[in-house]
Structures are given as C-alpha cells and as structure tokens.
Amino acid sequence: MKPKTFKEFLETLQADTPPSFWTEALRAMWYDLKGDWNASHNIAQDLHTMEGSWIHGYLHRQEGDKFNAGYWYRQAGRDYPKVSLKEEQKIMVTYFLEQ
C-alpha cells in the first residue's frame, strides 16, 4: 500500500528497497531520502516525463550544479526553486503521493 502522507513515507525508509508497485517518481524520491543519489538519478534519468525532469533538476540542484539543474527545471516546466532542498523534497514527495 502506498503511504498517504510524507510522515508515512518517511516510515518506509526502514526497508531495504521501496515497494515495486510504487511509481518510478516515488521510488526515485525514496532512494534520495535514503541517501542513494545514484539510484535516484538512474531512475530520474530514465523517466522521460515532467516528473522525471523535476526530480532530475532537484538532484542536480542538490549536488550544486545550478546550470544543469536549471535545464531540467525548465524541461519540467518549473521555475528554479526558492525553497530549501529539504522543503522541495517534502513538496515533491507529497505531490507524488497524491498522484
């Protein structure tokens, strides 16, 4: 079953892997919150949707590559965020949970 809230999502981080029935976007964010940037990036890179571009932008912002991040945010149809990475992370997870 998919978590309904960000808090419930955080509780799933005790597992070794995210559930296979989750969306790729949600799985990418799960890996990000687990600290596995590469696994998250691999999913985002293969996710050719606005959500994948958003995650891709967020991940490159996280690594400090503002130029590359800006490209991916534009691909996602989003402005470069003014919120902290932690706040954007919560916004993203909440958005993907609602999809």
* pLDDT tens string 70-81: 999 999 999 999
Residue 76 in domain: yes
Q: Is residue 94 part of a domain?
A: yes
CA–CA dist 16, 24 (Å, integer): 16
Which residues contact residue 45 at a Cβ distance below 8 angstroms, ignoring those fewer than 6 apart? 52, 56
Does 81 reside within a domain?
yes
Q: pLDDT digit string (tens) for 21-63?
A: 999 999 999 999 999 999 999 999 999 999 999 999 999 999 9
Give domain status of residue 13, yes or no.
no
Confidence grade of residue 10 (pLDDT, cut at 50, 70, 90)? very high
In a domain, 11, yes or no: no
Counted domains in the chain: 1
- Range(s) of the domain holding residue 61: 22-98
43 in a structural domain:
yes
Structural domain contains residue 44: yes
3 state SS of 46 = helix
CATH number of the domain enclosing 63: 1.25.40
- 92 in a structural domain: yes
**CA-based angle 53:57:60, to the nearest 5?**
135
